[in-house]
């Protein structure tokens, strides 16, 4: 818990709205997790910069979040500051030295808005994001992908904020992406991204988005809260198939369940705790290793401390 003195001091330094002792189940799609000491809501890059510098100078740990669709916060909550990037929502058609169109989006722009915007402008390249429920910042940090495409295929450059308040741009060739990860320095925050797209046909773009959404609805358990795929796919075989073949679909821990529909999803049936989700993750890893000899690695980001919500 942040002391009263520290709260007052931070409030003097930044105009940024803040909630203290906030339950993190409100900010994550899985709907589990204890309280964070503070959740800040900067309205733009300048406010974000002031906040980050103030937190850094006082040694307060921080974690940036977008839509919280790839995060599990443990039941003991998070000691430090959660910084919601959702107030950074500018999106615009840019210009590039090259002859392709570029769209710039701030990190809090939802992928749904970005994909819709591009479709309206008849720009093709981001259709694979249709139905991924994250924000631009979270998607680039996670190198989100689907149907053979990843963020790295469409990023032209990324605008980053260092914990010391420096803003700099890094070109695609200067960034290290891997499967579901963009390597960034510690506490570096994505504030905006330029996407390199192509001129396309609006109707064909919309049809591709619809096709992808139908595929996703058929495969994913969208009637329940979840954090998407729990594990990365090991080389050569989808994690969901390994989980299915080891007979783990449908197993429960409290109100958390390995989805009957997709083995790589854990769903919250109503009142799951983070401990239930983590218990299922441990059981899956153990059984898949014992039966298949494969070590599964989590794709979801697990934050915070053990304890009671």
**Residues at the site binding ligand FAD, with contacts judged by CB under 6 A:** 29, 63-71, 85, 107, 132-135, 137-139, 141-142, 144-146, 189-190, 220, 226-228, 301
The length of the chain is 309
Closest separation in Å from C-beta 291 to ligand FAD:
26
| Residue 242: partners with Cβ closer than 8 Å, 6 or more residues away | 234, 263, 288, 292, 294, 296
Closest separation in Å from C-beta 187 to ligand FAD:
9
Closest separation in Å from C-beta 32 to ligand FAD:
13
As a whole number of angstroms, the distance between CA 307 and CA 185 comes to: 29
Q: How distant, in Å, are the alpha carbons of 11, 31, 196, 225, 239 from that of 269?
A: 38, 10, 40, 8, 22
Instruction: Compare residues 123 and 189 and give the one whose CB is closer to ligand FAD.
Output: 189
Instruction: Compare residues 8 and 183 and give the one whose CB is closer to ligand FAD.
Output: 183
Catalytic residue among 84, 229, 253, 259: 229
Q: Is 180 an annotated catalytic residue? A: yes
Instruction: Compare residues 50 and 122 and give the one whose CB is closer to ligand FAD.
Output: 50
* Ramachandran bin of 8, using left for φ above 0, alpha for ψ from -120 to 50, beta for the remaining angles: alpha
Q: Is 46 an annotated catalytic residue? A: no
Q: Where are the alpha helices (DSSP H) in 222-300?
A: 239-245, 274-292
Query: Cα 136 from chain centroid?
Result: 9
Catalytic residue among 29, 106, 107, 180: 180
Closest separation in Å from C-beta 94 to ligand FAD:
19
Instruction: Compare residues 27 and 75 and give the one whose CB is closer to ligand FAD.
Output: 27
C-beta separation of 212 from 126 below 8 A: no
Q: Is 299 an annotated catalytic residue? A: yes
Return the active site residues: 180, 229, 299
């Amino acid at each position: 818990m942040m002391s009263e003195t520290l709260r007052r001091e931070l409030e003097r330094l930044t105009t940024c709205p803040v909630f203290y002792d906030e339950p993190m189940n409100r900010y994550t799609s899985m709907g589990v997790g204890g309280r964070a000491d503070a959740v800040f809501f900067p309205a733009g890059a300048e406010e974000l910069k002031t906040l980050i510098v103030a937190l850094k100078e006082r040694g307060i740990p921080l974690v940036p979040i977008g839509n919280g669709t790839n995060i599990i916060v443990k039941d003991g909550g998070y000691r430090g500051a959660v910084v919601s990037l959702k107030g950074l929502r500018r999106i615009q058609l840019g210009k590039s030295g090259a002859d392709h169109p570029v769209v710039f989006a701030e990190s809090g722009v939802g992928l749904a808005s970005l994909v819709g915007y591009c479709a309206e402008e008849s720009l093709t390249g981001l259709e694979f994001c249709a139905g991924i429920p994250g924000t631009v910042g979270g998607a680039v940090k996670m190198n989100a992908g689907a149907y053979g495409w990843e963020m790295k295929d469409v990023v032209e450059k990324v605008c980053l904020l260092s914990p010391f308040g420096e803003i700099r741009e890094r070109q695609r060739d200067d960034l290290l992406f891997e499967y579901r990860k963009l390597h960034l320095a510690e506490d570096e925050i994505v504030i905006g991204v330029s996407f390199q797209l192509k001129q396309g046909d609006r109707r064909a773009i919309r049809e591709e988005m619809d096709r992808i959404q139908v595929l996703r609805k058929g495969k994913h358990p969208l009637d329940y809260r979840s954090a998407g795929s729990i594990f990365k796919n090991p080389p050569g075989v989808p994690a969901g198939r390994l989980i299915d073949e080891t007979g783990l679909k449908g197993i429960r821990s409290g109100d958390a369940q390995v989805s009957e529909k997709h083995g790589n999803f854990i769903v919250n049936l109503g009142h799951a705790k983070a401990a239930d989700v983590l218990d299922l993750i441990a059981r899956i890893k153990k059984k898949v290793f014992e039966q298949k000899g494969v070590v599964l690695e989590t794709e979801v980001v697990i934050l915070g401390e053990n304890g009671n919500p």
